[in-house]
Structure 1
Amino acid sequence: MSDPLMCQEQTAIAQTFNEERFQEWEDRLKHERARAKVDEQKQIIVAADIAQAVVFADEAPFLFRLQKVMGRTSRGSSRSRSRGGDNGSTSDGSSDSEAESYSVSSSQDGMLDEAPDPVRKDLQGFCPYLHELPAAFTTFWHQLHGAALLVEQRVQLEETSREGTARGLCLQLALFRQVVSGTAGLPFPQAANSCPTLISSYFEWASELAVQAGQPRRGRALLQLGAPIRTMALSRALFRPDETRAGKEAQSTLSAKYASKLRDLHMKYGLEEKEWQIVDTDHQNWVAVHSLCDSNFAGGNLENVTSGITERNHKSYAERWGYEYTMHTQTPLAEQEPQFGKLQIAIDVLSSEKPPDWFLWLDCDALVTNRSISVESLLRTYQLSEKDFVVAEEVSGINSGVFLVRGGAERRGLRFLEEAMQSDWRFVWDQTMLLRQMAQESDLFGATMCSDFAEDFRWAPHFGLVPQHAMNLYGEGSALQWGASAWKPGDFILHLAGCPLTESECHGTFEETDSKGPCWQEPACMLCVEEKAEKAGAELSGRDKALDESAKQEALQAHLRWLEESRAKLQEKLKAHTEQELAEKDPPMEDGPPDITPVYI
């Protein structure tokens, strides 16, 4: 006769075991369903997104063909080759016949042979080093570029009117959204790293369509967002040891054309400067000013001996207006470059229990050169009091060396920074992360555009973009090189971006600017300085008086020579740093794409 107590214990154990197995089975079932759903979404997301974006009544056959391209094969025209270069040359400077005979590794010969001729030619020309990467990259690009060419065919059919071009733009942006969001098969950073020339050409194509569709501001913003990718393509060609001279020249030509388009759009649609509306009374806002000078970082503008000058300058400005000031000497993100630390510092300050009304960031190489301009003057002059994030635009996008974030109870500026901090768009440090988040919140890729073709793109209303004159002017050399605005005495902030302070030329400029002291920053002294300059026959650069062409060219050539020397030194540092970093990393998994960590110049 069995023991009743033992029977109860065994029953309880069995019940517990069954409950655990059931929970395990249920969790596994949920996992399998989720994975199946993801796989299904990967197969149809491009077609589904285009179906939502396009308002045509007869799209079913086209969508079916596009889905077929993304799933199995590719079709398309070779028109996109004209975007890569002239005279029948591919992006690496080779001719069509040379591109056709380009050899790839044996593991991928079959993949290229199976691709339609236009796709194969473009990939061999635009992406000549795909064979060095895992097969997943080649498969991704065959499918993506085949779909892109198919979309391009459809766009050509629609380019008979501005409205037709706008509908074609909807198609192109619908596909592009999937690439940028990483839902087309690869995370966007890996796609961009594997073939930056082709990715940047997609941005350029979308920009051209936007301009033709009567949306030039959208076209300009698309070019700005793609500018770091174009720079990456040029950098790869210039610093790759086995790159041909023709390849380097071809990439330089492509970058020059890209920059020319940016300058043209900036001249027509860039922001206009405004006359300062000076607020003379004491500050009405609680403003926290922060900067970071991390002398432990090897490389870039934070490796300098000017932190004392920076701190003295910033502190003097903050005391003038009663603002708080904090100089950070170590980045809060020990494993990352200090440029990323600025966003974390801002997040930490704005997430405190009582955040300031405004957070002002000043890079270590930025000096306040006119203390009579307060944050309140900036807010009033450009009507920014209701904006959450304020930054200066430039020809190629934005520069985050100086920015403002609104605090307060609503914390919308904080949420924006937190979202940007999660971005994997780290091509040009934090400013690309910020610009990508701005683009997403402003619907740059047109998820809602197709319902109203008449409206051109506008940055979301909680963003405040201002001209460089307002808060972020460059030194003369960098301004000439980048086609940007140059600082002159009397302007608010001088930012020596692109001019490493370890170099004597830049360090001297920094010390000279600071040595003027408070006098340099007051209107009466400024009048005296300008009068002396005129008597000496010197011409001040900037908005009012441009250097004559010969002087411009001489200054530019001198700056370019210095840049070449600086690049060589920096390249050695980056090479050593990259080799050490790669040695410490684990090898990538064979069944998936590697985690590529690019080096940018």
Structure 2
Amino acid sequence: MVYGKSNTNFERALKTHESHSKQWGNGFEVLRQDLATGFWNKPTYILHVLTQELMKAPRERAEWLMWVDADSIIINPDISPELFLPPADLSQIHFVGTRDENGLNTGIFYLRVSTWSISFLIETLAMPLYEPDAGLGRSADQDAMSLVLHKEIGGPSNQGYRDAMVLIPRLWINTYEREEDGYEGKRGDMLVHFPGLEETRRKHMGDWLDVVESRPGVWRCALEETEYWNVTREYWREFRAAYELWKEVEALQDTEDISDATWQAATDLKKILETEADDIVKIGQLRSKLSSTFQFEGVNS
């Protein structure tokens, strides 16, 4: 999304994304004029692109869209953007994003091409009208997305959106350049993002672009030289195991086969999967706790 006053660094950054997309056989779209007011351009444009994709025959559609803000730069194009997506069997997931110390960050995220995503974006765009007292902050679109994602009612199935959202470890896809601490990532990471830098963003981006354009090997390396092939596979294995265990317990919710303690352990696990799935250690701990309780009751029933 680049429009308004010319910004050379944004254009240079977009070239890294365009090249990255071509390298991996993906499409690439840029919004270059206003469709709405201010921050609402982002969800409006994504809704437009999603609608265009869904109008295609199923075999011709993209499966996912990846949004990237213009103040981000691909520094290791040998990492596929698809590497971080959920396996095909986890089809209940429609939103893959990240959070930071302020909550959800929508600078970089994935949306499945689906009617779920259409519904999510429509509710996001409608929030200022149907919930005028929601208290949306400066980044109103981001706040609205977060509020909609955490709803437990509404949506395509009238069960809200939380169970279709996954927050993965932020450093995988949304690694920041910090004002005081510099880059929080390492060689081999896919990109660098510059949120919140304001007046110093131009200099930070310029310095990074100079390196990426003139000495790409400083940050670029093959996937097998990074940890990502292993950690992403392990992450989704753990997530799948936790999700399947939760669904197994949920199926018994209205029976007398589970205790209050087991149901509480299951509820705790579900909450983590929906709101803190970037903490794989916590997921593992809560899954083990629920599994132990559930198996104990099964043995003694």
Please give the alpha-carbon distance, in whole angstroms, between the structure 2 residues aligned to 1:322 and 1:388.
21
1:373 Cα deviation from its structure 2 partner: 2.1
Deviations along 1:196-243, whole A, 9 cap, x unmatched?
xxxxxxxxxxxxxxxxxxxxxxxxxxxxxxxxxxxxxxxxxxxxxxxx
- Secondary structure of 1:331 counterpart: coil
Partner of 1:304: 7
Asked whether the equivalents of residues 187 and 220 of structure 2 are also in contact (C-alpha less than 8 Å), the reply is no
Asked whether the equivalents of residues 176 and 184 of structure 2 are also in contact (C-alpha less than 8 Å), the reply is yes
From the superposition, tell whether residues 504 and 356 of structure 1 become closer, same or farther in structure 2 (CA, over 3 Å): closer
From the superposition, tell whether residues 320 and 486 of structure 1 become closer, same or farther in structure 2 (CA, over 3 Å): same
Partner of 2:33: 330
- The one-letter code matched in structure 2 to 1:341 is N
- Secondary structure of 2:29 counterpart: strand
Please say if 1:436 is aligned against 2:147. Answer: yes
Asked whether the equivalents of residues 2 and 33 of structure 2 are also in contact (C-alpha less than 8 Å), the reply is yes
1:524 Cα deviation from its structure 2 partner: 5.8
Please say if 1:405 is aligned against 2:103. Answer: no
Please give the alpha-carbon distance, in whole angstroms, between the structure 2 residues aligned to 1:478 and 1:381.
37
Deviations along 1:172-199, whole A, 9 cap, x unmatched?
xxxxxxxxxxxxxxxxxxxxxxxxxxxx
Please say if 1:359 is aligned against 2:57. Answer: no
- Secondary structure of 2:162 counterpart: coil
Please say if 1:387 is aligned against 2:93. Answer: yes
From the superposition, tell whether residues 330 and 517 of structure 1 become closer, same or farther in structure 2 (CA, over 3 Å): farther
Please say if 1:511 is aligned against 2:217. Answer: no
Partner of 2:2: 293
Please give the alpha-carbon distance, in whole angstroms, between the structure 1 residues aligned to 2:174 and 2:27.
21
Asked whether the equivalents of residues 476 and 487 of structure 1 are also in contact (C-alpha less than 8 Å), the reply is no
From the superposition, tell whether residues 312 and 344 of structure 1 become closer, same or farther in structure 2 (CA, over 3 Å): same
- Secondary structure of 1:322 counterpart: coil
Deviations along 1:115-154, whole A, 9 cap, x unmatched?
xxxxxxxxxxxxxxxxxxxxxxxxxxxxxxxxxxxxxxxx
Asked whether the equivalents of residues 293 and 327 of structure 1 are also in contact (C-alpha less than 8 Å), the reply is yes
5+ unaligned residues in a row in structure 2: which ranges?
129-133, 226-301
TM-score by length of 1: 0.31
- The one-letter code matched in structure 2 to 1:365 is D
TM-score by length of 2: 0.60
1:308 Cα deviation from its structure 2 partner: 2.3
Please say if 1:465 is aligned against 2:167. Answer: yes
- Secondary structure of 1:307 counterpart: helix
Q: How many residues align?
A: 208
1:359 Cα deviation from its structure 2 partner: 1.1
> Percent sequence identity over matched residues?
23
- Secondary structure of 1:399 counterpart: strand
Please give the alpha-carbon distance, in whole angstroms, between the structure 1 residues aligned to 2:172 and 2:88.
9
Asked whether the equivalents of residues 79 and 222 of structure 2 are also in contact (C-alpha less than 8 Å), the reply is no
Aligned pairs (5 A) from 1:191-230? none
Please give the alpha-carbon distance, in whole angstroms, between the structure 2 residues aligned to 1:382 and 1:398.
24
1:509 Cα deviation from its structure 2 partner: 2.9
Please give the alpha-carbon distance, in whole angstroms, between the structure 1 residues aligned to 2:102 and 2:88.
21
Return the structure number with greater helix share.
1
Please say if 1:340 is aligned against 2:48. Answer: no
From the superposition, tell whether residues 492 and 340 of structure 1 become closer, same or farther in structure 2 (CA, over 3 Å): same
Please give the alpha-carbon distance, in whole angstroms, between the structure 2 residues aligned to 1:467 and 1:361.
17
5+ unaligned residues in a row in structure 1: which ranges?
1-291, 297-302, 449-458, 528-601
Counterpart among 174, 177, 191 of residue 493 in structure 1: 191
Deviations along 1:547-593, whole A, 9 cap, x unmatched?
xxxxxxxxxxxxxxxxxxxxxxxxxxxxxxxxxxxxxxxxxxxxxxx
Asked whether the equivalents of residues 390 and 464 of structure 1 are also in contact (C-alpha less than 8 Å), the reply is yes
- Secondary structure of 2:13 counterpart: helix
Asked whether the equivalents of residues 384 and 464 of structure 1 are also in contact (C-alpha less than 8 Å), the reply is no
Aligned pairs (5 A) from 1:36-47? none
Please say if 1:420 is aligned against 2:124. Answer: yes
1:381 Cα deviation from its structure 2 partner: 7.8
Partner of 1:474: 176
Partner of 2:298: none
Please give the alpha-carbon distance, in whole angstroms, between the structure 2 residues aligned to 1:418 and 1:326.
20
- The one-letter code matched in structure 1 to 2:94 is D
- Secondary structure of 1:470 counterpart: helix
Please say if 1:523 is aligned against 2:221. Answer: yes
If asked which structure has higher relative contact order (CA below 8 Å, sep 6+), I would say 2
Asked whether the equivalents of residues 97 and 109 of structure 2 are also in contact (C-alpha less than 8 Å), the reply is yes
